[in-house]
Amino acid sequence: MKVKRYTIKDFEKQFPDDDACLEYLKNTRWPDGIYCEKCQRVTKHHRITRRKVYSCDFCRTHVSPTAGTIFHKSATSLHLWFYAMYLMTSTRCGISAKQLERELGVTYKTAWRVAKEIRQTLMTQTDEPLGKTSGVELDETYIGGKAKNMHKAKRERLGGRGTAGKTAVWGAVEREGRVVAVTVPNVDGVTLLPYVRKHVIPATTVYTDEMGAYKYLRENGYDHKKINHMEKVYVSGDVHTNTIEGFWSLAKRGIGGVYHAVSAKHLQGYLNEYSWRYNHRDGGQVMFEALLLRAARV
């Protein structure tokens, strides 16, 4: 069954102003009513005019639906926060802070901070391991500028070509399932094996290329199958790494096309964003609602 698209008209109807956004947060955080710590029970609360708080009708204790969330003490309106989340989940390849600045009507600094908080706080990747229902593909890549485009002094300092100046990234993806992508110090076996153990269930069938870093997977309880890219073999029956390579292509094209350049310091946040979008790719409304629920409960 085709999922109905969640359009800008749907968004404006559901969240026309700050009051609607605050009411959503309240109802999501306390679906059975607000529990008053002082009264030690669920009590009726009323909204305090012009403030983001609700007051207990019995003891007058104040509670705020934004407390403990990324919206707490933010001068940016709730409606703009929600709209930013809608924009970030409704685009296939992401949206730059400069574009957010234009869409939200805020300063570039504010737009960048909002996007950063959404990526690093709400779009964090799950610790639930992969491999419950299907095989898992493992691969690594490098993200960063090309050596030929660097300043001569920097190019010489970093070694001139290849992976110099780039950030190593490791990823794992279930076929027809979820993906995990994290920055790593290097792609040595001793470095990557703990990530495999953390993110992939033991006894899972894992598919990799011929890289030596994966040679001890079978000894660690995984059913390891390799494809030899060095010999120009890319598919052999069900053995391939095309799924994870497709994700790398999507992430790299998105980063290069939308953000142009990303520092190593903030790269994990952008990987979170592309992983989140990939893992919630079933529909725009599903993705937006999942992010809203995460925002209300963080």
pLDDT in tens, 102-125: 999 999 999 999 999 999 999 998
Long-range pairs for 4-11: beta carbons < 8 A, 24 or more residues apart: 4/283, 4/285, 5/283, 5/284, 5/285, 6/86, 6/90, 6/283, 6/284, 6/285, 6/288, 8/86, 10/285, 11/82, 11/83, 11/86, 11/288
Does residue 199 belong to any structural domain of this protein?
Answer: yes
Name the H helices within 91-184.
97-104, 108-117, 152-158
Alpha carbons 99 and 90: distance in angstroms, whole number: 14
Does residue 7 belong to any structural domain of this protein?
Answer: no
Does residue 81 belong to any structural domain of this protein?
Answer: yes
Task: Describe the strand order of the beta sheet including 136-143 as a list of residue ranges.
Answer: 179-183, 167-174, 136-143, 205-208, 223-226
φ/ψ (deg, to 5) at 184: -135, 155
152 and 212 in a single domain? The answer is yes
Q: How many domains does the chain have?
A: 3
Does residue 3 belong to any structural domain of this protein?
Answer: no
Does residue 250 belong to any structural domain of this protein?
Answer: yes
111 and 168 in a single domain? The answer is no
157 and 235 in a single domain? The answer is yes
* CATH number of the structural domain spanning residue 160: 3.30.420.10
Residue 218: DSSP 8-state: G
Nearest to 278 by CA among 132, 82, 114, 93: 93
Contact 282, 3 (CB under 8 A): yes
Type of residue numbered 105: G
80 and 103 in a single domain? The answer is yes
Does residue 51 belong to any structural domain of this protein?
Answer: yes
Does residue 21 belong to any structural domain of this protein?
Answer: yes
pLDDT at 82: 97
117 and 167 in a single domain? The answer is no
Which range marks the domain in which residue 298 is found? 72-122+273-298
Alpha carbons 186 and 220: distance in angstroms, whole number: 20
108 and 166 in a single domain? The answer is no
pLDDT at 149: 53
Does residue 128 belong to any structural domain of this protein?
Answer: no
252 and 183 in a single domain? The answer is yes
Contact 128, 275 (CB under 8 A): no
Domain stop point among 23, 45, 67:
67
157 and 189 in a single domain? The answer is yes
48 and 79 in a single domain? The answer is no
pLDDT at 227: 93
| Strand, coil or helix: 139 | strand
Q: Which helix (H) or strand (E) covers residue 106, if one does?
A: none
φ/ψ (deg, to 5) at 130: -90, 160
Alpha carbons 163 and 147: distance in angstroms, whole number: 8
Residue 258: DSSP 8-state: I
Q: What is the dihedral of CA 93, 99, 103, 106, to 10 degrees?
A: 130
Domain stop point among 67, 87, 108:
67
18 and 89 in a single domain? The answer is no
Flag residues of the chain having pLDDT under 70. 1-4, 145-162, 164, 283-284, 298
φ/ψ (deg, to 5) at 47: -75, 135
Alpha carbons 58 and 44: distance in angstroms, whole number: 8
170 and 215 in a single domain? The answer is yes
pLDDT at 92: 81
| Strand, coil or helix: 7 | coil
Domain stop point among 67, 88, 111:
67
232 and 146 in a single domain? The answer is yes
pLDDT at 284: 62
pLDDT at 161: 42
Task: Copy the structure tokens of residue 125.
Answer: 């990747």
pLDDT at 154: 46
pLDDT at 286: 82
Q: How many CB atoms lie within 10 A of CB 144?
A: 19
